Structure 1
Amino acid sequence: MSNRKPYVREMKRTWWKDHPFYRIYMVREATVLPLIFFTLCLTFGLGSLVVGEAAWNGWLSFMANPVVIAINIVALAGSLFHAQTFFSMMPQVMPIRIGGKLLDKKVIVLTQWAAVAVISAVILFLV
């Protein structure tokens, strides 16, 4: 039996900062943090709506806090960034063929953004 120690490569906590691909990946994954806060706020808002008018007014005043508004703006930006990276991957993951020809990647991405715009407009119209 040998007394040699196996080679263990050192892994720093900031390994992802060395390459632009990993930096963008980590930023994309970090967008979940403000989205969790946003989801919890909406959940508590629904709960306060069920409880009664006083709880609902308390939730509305909480949501009017400038810090909460700033976090929600960050959550919106993170959500849009997440959607953009997902939409840009879509043509590579699932190429679409029409009539035997491969559909252009830009068309697929723009179609997805158009669908987001139409759905958002319909929801804004309904609300």
Structure 2
Amino acid sequence: MSRRPYVRKAERSWWLHHPRYVAYMVRELTSLFVGLYCLFLVVGLIRLAQGQAAWDGFVAAFSSPLGVSFQLVCLAFAIYHSVTWFALTPKAMPLMIKDEPVPDMAIVGAHYVAWAAVSIVVLIAAGM
């Protein structure tokens, strides 16, 4: 046994050399923006609990051009994250019914149908 084990050098840009790695890293990056948006929604709930003036300030901040831009970037990242995850789902969660594999398109399609149904319910609950 060697006293000096082999340590392979890894570049910081290792993931830029293959398109699948780039897609994976971008998908992982999108989760940060989704988490940030969730954090800002929690801040909005806190401001709502603090009263009308605090809530109005929060709404004004989110209605500013910077706030709208942030929301649009978060929306784009959330859509990218969802679409790439739905495409990955049949590989991450293979489904068998009566010892027969469910086709990949059926699993992906079911996710899109559920996404649309939940979106419709949320829009109805929001009064739109």
Q: TM-score, normalised by structure 1?
A: 0.87
- 1:123 and 1:67 map into 2 onto residues whose CA distance is 25
Give, in angstroms, the shift of residue 93 of structure 1: 2.5
> How many equivalent pairs are there?
125
* RMSD between superposed Cα atoms in Å: 1.8
Q: 1:125 to 1:101 in 2, by over 3 A?
A: same
Name the residue aligned to 1:77: 76
Determine whether 1:111 maps to 2:110: yes
Q: 1:5 to 1:111 in 2, by over 3 A?
A: closer
Structure 2 portions without partners, runs of 5+:
none
- 1:5 and 1:49 map into 2 onto residues whose CA distance is 60
Give, in angstroms, the shift of residue 72 of structure 1: 1.3
Name the residue aligned to 2:36: 37
Name the residue aligned to 1:17: 16
- 1:73 and 1:91 map into 2 onto residues whose CA distance is 29
Give, in angstroms, the shift of residue 34 of structure 1: 2.0
Structure 1 portions without partners, runs of 5+:
none
Name the residue aligned to 2:89: 90
Give, in angstroms, the shift of residue 7 of structure 1: 4.1
Name the residue aligned to 1:54: 53
Tell me, what secondary structure is at the counterpart of 1:31? helix
Give, in angstroms, the shift of residue 96 of structure 1: 2.1
Q: TM-score, normalised by structure 2?
A: 0.87
Give, in angstroms, the shift of residue 71 of structure 1: 1.5
1:96–1:102 contact (8 Å) kept in structure 2: yes
In our comparison, the structure showing a higher alpha carbon Rg is 1
Q: 1:27 to 1:53 in 2, by over 3 A?
A: same
Q: 1:47 to 1:99 in 2, by over 3 A?
A: same
Name the residue aligned to 1:27: 26
**Deviations 1:83-112, CA, capped at 9 Å, x for gaps:** 122212221222223344322111110111
